[in-house]
Structure 1
Amino acid sequence: MGGPVDGTKLILSRKAFLIETLREDSDFVLQHCHSLNILSNNEYNNIKDINNRSKQVRDILDYVIHKGNKSALEFLRLLRRQDMQDTFPKLEVLQDLSINKRKAPKSIETTAKRKTELENNVLSEQPCMTNSRMVTEKEMMKVARCIGNSWREVGIMALEMSTTTLQQIEEDNKLHTERVFAMLRRWSMRERDGATAFCLYNLLTQEENGVDPRKINFLLENN
C-alpha cells in the first residue's frame, strides 16, 4: 500500500469500463488530454480523425499506457476533476483510488533533475485542485498584454491557430493587444468547456512559446 501507484495497471484493469464511459463524449476527453499535453500534437491529430468514438477512447488509453506511469497518473487525475465527474458521473468510482500519493524526496540535496520533477508534480496536480474554472475575458486581456511581437508564433505553436485565421485577426484589429486578445478569445470559443485558466497557462508556458510563467500565474489563482 505504501509503494508507488502503478497508473498503467489501474487503467489497464479498467480499460473496458473507461471506453464504455468516456465514449459518450470522446471529443471532450480528447481536447482536455491535448490541452494538458497528455497527448502530443501528432497523437491528437491521429485520434481526432477517427470517426468511431469508442476507438477514439481506446487509442487515447493506449497512448497514455504506452507513455508510462507518469502520463497514466496525469490522465487519472484528469478523470477525477469536477468537470469530468459532471460530464461522466460514472467516473465517481475513481475517487476512491489513491493516485496522488508520491514518495517524498530523501533529502534537499537532490539533483537538479529531481527538483524539476517535484516542481512538475505540483503543476500537474493544479487542475485537480483549483483550475476547472473557465478563463475569463478580463484574464485573457491581461494575458494579451504579456505576449509580445511573437504572438503569431504563440498562436500557431501553442493555440494551433492557422495562418489564415491569424491574418484575419491582424486585419480586423489595429492594436497589438487587441489582436492578441482576439486570438485568445477565438481559442476559448473553439475549445468551449476546455478553455480553462489552467489549460491556457499550461499551453502558453511551454518552453518553446517564450511566455514568462511569472507574468501569467494569476491564471492559477482561485476566483
Structure 2
Amino acid sequence: MAGEPAAEIQLLRSQKAKLIEILSADAEFVLQHADSSLLLSDSGYQQVKARTVPREKVTDLLDHIIQRGPAAAQGLLELLKGKEMQETFPMLCFIKDVQAITPSTGGPKPVPSIVPHVEKEVSSLEGSRPCNLEDTVPSKKIRKRDPVLVKDKQLMIVAPNIGKSWKEIGIGTLDIPNKKLEQIELDESRHIYRVFSMLLYWKTSQKLNATAANLHTLLSQGPCALPLDSINSLLEDSDAFDL
C-alpha cells in the first residue's frame, strides 16, 4: 500500500518502548556502536550525544534512525542482534526472534547501502569494479565495556517500594531460594534491610547479568509487578549514584 511505512520501521516502532527500557542502562555504549555502524548522520549524532538523560538519549537515537529510513532501521536491528550488544544487554535476546517481513515476498527485505555516497565516489576512482564497503569504510575501534551493574545505592532506593510481598518477589521473580529468604528474615529485624539484603543477594548471584535494566524488567513483570514510577530510578544514569 502506498505510503505505508517499511517493515523494518514498523518493527522498530512496535518494539520502541521495550528497547528504550533495555538500552537506557548504557545509552552511550549504544550510541557509539550505532555511530560506528554509520547509522546516524553527523548532525544526528551530535543531537543524540547532547542528551544527558539516558532514556532521552535512546529515544532520540531510535527516532533519528527511524527517520533515516528502512536501511538504517535494518542496520540497527542487525546491530542489536550482534554478540557484543547481546552480551551487554542480555534482555535483548528477544530481538533475535523478531524479523521484518516484506508483504510482496514474505521474506526478509534486502538492505540498501546506508552510505551510497561512498560507493559512488570509490566507483568513480576505480572504474566499474564494485565497491566493497569493508575496504572503504573502516569501522571505528570501540573498546569493549563491561556491563554496567546496578549500584547498591539504587537497590536501597528501590527497597522501600517493595512491601509485604517481598518473599513472593524473591522466590517468583528473582529466583531466590526460600531458605535464603528465611535466613535474611532472621538476620535483619527491619523490613527495608530485609528487602535490601534480598536485592543484594540477587545482584551477587547474577554476576554480570545484575544490571539495573535487568532488575527493572524483572520487577515490572509478573503477578507481583511493582508500579513503574517506584522503580524508574533503575533506569537513571548509573554514574549519578557514584556521587
**Class of the TM-score when normalised by the shorter of the 2 chains:** 0.3 to 0.5
Higher relative contact order (CA 8 A, sep 6+): 2
Higher helix share: 1
Larger-gyration structure (1/2): 2
What is the TM-score of this pair, normalised by structure 1?
Answer: 0.46
